[in-house]
């Protein structure tokens, strides 16, 4: 017998009838597997390298399958046998048999379809050329004769699939495309697209919608899944989705050439405002996964984080992803909506300063003036009382918003190490102001929480006392009105713990948003959406406020209103 040459590998002589198994060939070696190298020898490779090889192999096969699908769709006929890849040799049906155009469409189960999760094949975990089974809702890679969707159709009998990128629907294993108006609702839910006229009417027309189960909901005011500990993420997305300039830009602009972060945020916002949703809530899983990867797991769904820290990270990354500059102001929609200018005066505290009057600016001393730009203004709360009242109950103090805003009046000074500083806002103020009420401070041992309640009006907050006068941009003495748009609140909940203390404090985040069409306020906590009385909004511990600048001449003489 002639000895077989080393170049003729055994794997090349055997045709694979199914996708490669993820199990190791040598079962008695659990952490490594045998792989034939270029010389025909058997070598040991660790699990990480094996999974990388399998992922790369699956991606290459999926890319080849996707390329063949595109060629086939562009030509309108099957690719010639000689031009087909070696991985796909089975003939495909190009159109349904006459009289059977609606075959298998009755097997579609809309109640199990959930397109909010990341588009990954349930077998290979690849995001290339992914199809969703419209019968069971699972994701599979490719639709070629050797793909996982193809074998799923043969083994389970689920025949209808939608491409998650092109939104085309196909029947497998036959392989032809289905063109039916009855599938338009599914294609819309995969990637909701609202016309410009519809988007412009979102805040003007009170519109109700119903899900598949007949449950009524308000588009734009739907719950969001708290998968594990991502409620900090949910409240920020809900607040940003109700800022009209940012929302309209994200919903209407073509962002297909932007980063994954921008595209996934756009899809999530459009799903929040979807008027033809299959269910009354959305899941942020797809955007969360991208945020987790891009932030190196600083923000993920398994660990609770601070919503203000996440907002700062998210706005800066969105600004860069939208083509914004690190040095030039106003180069993205993020800066055009939120960015303002701040003047900072600083002076060294000398040894001659009176201990009781260290914060008084000295006229003879040198004053350094600097300007900086901001996306968010931090408001400091007064120290919480240490003693109890006469009824032996802890006092929960209250402070008006205008009192803590005096930090920016240009008169009140603050001490930072050996420097005293005072701040003043500069014209023009941004269309939207973000106020961060600083409730948490860290020391070497614990995180301290200040429970002080901040009282505020929901309308007609005058910001003119905190802005440096500039007659060329704003008439002196004329008020600058701002109205509240969203309010993120915090609640501390005691939970049982196995630690020495026996109890732990858990943070609960909620967001209060205004329904402009109905002039009502709603509070959203994960999946729960309920109406709240406007006069009781300030009774919660506010952490982040979003204020909208009132347009000139709008609402004159109304006072503080509701």
Q: Is the pLDDT of residue 554 over 50?
A: yes
Residue 334, token pair as written in the block:
């993020």
Residue 317, token pair as written in the block:
């990354």
Q: Is 417 helix (H, G, I), strand (E, B) or coil?
A: coil
The predicted-structure confidence for 205-223, as pLDDT tens digits, reads as follows: 888 999 998 999 999 999 9
The predicted-structure confidence for 405-458, as pLDDT tens digits, reads as follows: 999 998 888 877 778 889 999 999 999 999 999 998 887 778 888 889 999 999
Residue with tokens 């350094």: 368
- The answer regarding whether domain 340-374+376-549 maps to CATH 1.10.1040.10 reads no
In this structure, how many other beta carbons lie within 10 angstroms of the beta carbon of residue 209?
Answer: 15
Residue 450, token pair as written in the block:
């200040």
CA atoms within 13 A on the CB side of 518: 16
Identical topology for domains 193-307 and 340-374+376-549: yes
Residue 285, token pair as written in the block:
């899983």
C-alpha distances in angstroms, 37 versus 3, 13, 41? Answer: 19, 16, 6
Q: Is the pLDDT of residue 509 over 80?
A: yes
Cis preceding linkage at 477, omega within 30: no
Predicted confidence at residue 85, as pLDDT, reads 46
DSSP strand pairing (520-525 vs 528-532): antiparallel
Q: Which residues contact 370 (CB under 8 A, 6 or more apart)?
A: 343, 344, 346
Query: Which one, of 119, 55, 64, lies nearest residue 285 by Cα?
Result: 119
Q: Is the pLDDT of residue 503 over 80?
A: no
Q: Which residues contact 262 (CB under 8 A, 6 or more apart)?
A: 250, 255, 318, 321, 322
- The answer regarding whether domain 193-307 maps to CATH 3.40.50.720 reads no
Query: For residue 335, what pLDDT band results from cuts at 50, 70 and 90?
Result: very high
Share of the chain above pLDDT 90, in %: 56
C-beta of residue 227 within 8 angstroms of C-beta of residue 114: no
Q: Is 234 helix (H, G, I), strand (E, B) or coil?
A: helix
The predicted-structure confidence for 70-79, as pLDDT tens digits, reads as follows: 555 554 444 4
Q: How far apart are CA 483 and CA 513, in angstroms?
A: 12
Predicted confidence at residue 446, as pLDDT, reads 80
- Domain 105-188 sits in CATH at 3.30.40.10
Q: How far apart are CA 452 and CA 467, in angstroms?
A: 26
Q: Is 419 helix (H, G, I), strand (E, B) or coil?
A: strand
Residue 120, token pair as written in the block:
């990954």
C-alpha distances in angstroms, 293 versus 56, 260, 286, 413? Answer: 19, 11, 11, 41
Q: How far apart are CA 219 and CA 280, in angstroms?
A: 9
Q: What are the E-state strand segments in 288-430? A: 340-348, 368-374, 377-380, 398-400, 414-416, 419-426
DSSP strand pairing (42-46 vs 453-455): unpaired
Q: How far apart are CA 541 and CA 490, in angstroms?
A: 5
The predicted-structure confidence for 16-55, as pLDDT tens digits, reads as follows: 454 444 443 333 433 333 343 433 333 344 444 444 555 5
Dihedrals φ, ψ of 150, to 5°? -60, -45
Q: Is the pLDDT of residue 466 over 90?
A: yes
User: What angle, 0 to 180 degrees and rounded to 10, lies between the N-to-C axes of helices 260-272 and 285-294?
Assistant: 150
The predicted-structure confidence for 293-330, as pLDDT tens digits, reads as follows: 999 999 999 999 999 999 999 999 999 999 999 889 99
Predicted confidence at residue 412, as pLDDT, reads 85
Domains of the chain by residue range: 10-75, 105-188, 193-307, 340-374+376-549
Query: For residue 479, what pLDDT band results from cuts at 50, 70 and 90?
Result: very high
């Amino acid at each position: 017998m002639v000895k077989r040459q080393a170049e003729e590998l055994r794997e090349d002589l055997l045709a694979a009838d199914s996708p490669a198994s993820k199990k190791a060939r040598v079962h008695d070696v659990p952490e490594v597997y045998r792989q034939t190298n270029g010389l025909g020898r058997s070598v040991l490779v660790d699990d990480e390298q094996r999974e990388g090889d399998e992922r790369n192999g699956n991606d290459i096969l999926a890319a080849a399958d996707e390329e063949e699908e595109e060629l086939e769709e562009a030509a309108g006929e099957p690719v010639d046998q000689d031009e087909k890849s070696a991985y796909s040799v089975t003939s495909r049906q190009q159109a349904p048999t006459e009289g059977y155009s609606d075959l298998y469409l009755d097997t579609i189960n809309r109640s199990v379809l959930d397109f909010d999760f990341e588009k990954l094949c349930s077998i290979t975990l690849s995001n290339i050329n992914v199809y969703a089974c419209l019968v069971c809702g699972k994701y599979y890679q490719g639709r070629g004769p050797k793909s996982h969707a193809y074998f799923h159709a043969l083994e389970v009998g689920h025949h209808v699939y939608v491409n998650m990128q092109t939104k085309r629907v196909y029947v497998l294993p036959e392989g032809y495309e289905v063109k039916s108006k009855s599938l338009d609702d599914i294609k819309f839910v995969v990637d909701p697209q609202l016309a410009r006229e519809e988007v412009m009417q979102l805040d003007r027309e009170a519109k109700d919608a119903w899900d598949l189960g007949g449950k009524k909901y308000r588009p734009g005011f739907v719950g969001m899944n708290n998968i594990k500990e991502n409620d900090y993420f949910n409240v920020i997305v809900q607040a940003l989705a109700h800022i009209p300039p940012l929302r309209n830009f994200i919903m209407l602009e073509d962002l297909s050439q932007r980063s994954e972060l921008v595209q996934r945020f756009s899809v999530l916002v459009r799903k929040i405002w979807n008027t033809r949703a299959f269910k009354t809530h959305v899941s942020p899983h797809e955007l969360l996964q991208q945020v987790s990867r891009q932030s190196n797991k600083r923000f993920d769904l398994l660990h609770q984080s601070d919503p203000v820290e996440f907002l700062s990270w998210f706005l800066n990354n969105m600004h860069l992803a939208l083509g914004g500059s690190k040095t030039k102001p106003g180069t993205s929609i993020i800066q055009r909506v939120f960015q303002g200018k701040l003047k900072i005066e600083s002076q060294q505290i000398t040894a001659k300063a009176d201990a009781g009057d260290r914060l008084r600016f000295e006229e003879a001393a040198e004053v350094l003036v600097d300007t900086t730009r901001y996306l968010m203004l931090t408001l400091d709360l007064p120290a919480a009382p240490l003693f109890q009242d006469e009824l032996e109950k802890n006092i929960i103090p209250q402070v008006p918003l205008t009192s803590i805003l005096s930090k920016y009046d240009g008169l009140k000074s603050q001490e930072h190490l050996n420097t005293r500083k005072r701040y003043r806002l500069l014209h023009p103020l941004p269309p939207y102001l973000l106020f961060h009420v600083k409730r948490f401070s860290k020391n070497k041992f614990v995180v301290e929480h200040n429970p002080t309640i901040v009282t505020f009006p929901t309308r007609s907050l005058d910001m003119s006392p905190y802005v440096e006068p500039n007659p060329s941009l704003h008439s002196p003495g004329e008020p600058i009105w701002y109205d509240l748009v969203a309010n993120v609140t915090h609640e501390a909940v005691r939970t049982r713990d196995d630690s020495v203390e026996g109890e732990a404090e858990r943070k609960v985040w909620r967001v209060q948003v205004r329904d402009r069409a109905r002039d009502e306020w709603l509070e959203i906590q994960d999946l729960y959406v309920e109406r709240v009385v406007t006069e009781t909004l300030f009774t919660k511990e506010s952490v982040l406020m979003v204020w909208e600048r009132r347009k000139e001449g709008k609402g004159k003489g109304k006072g503080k209103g509701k």
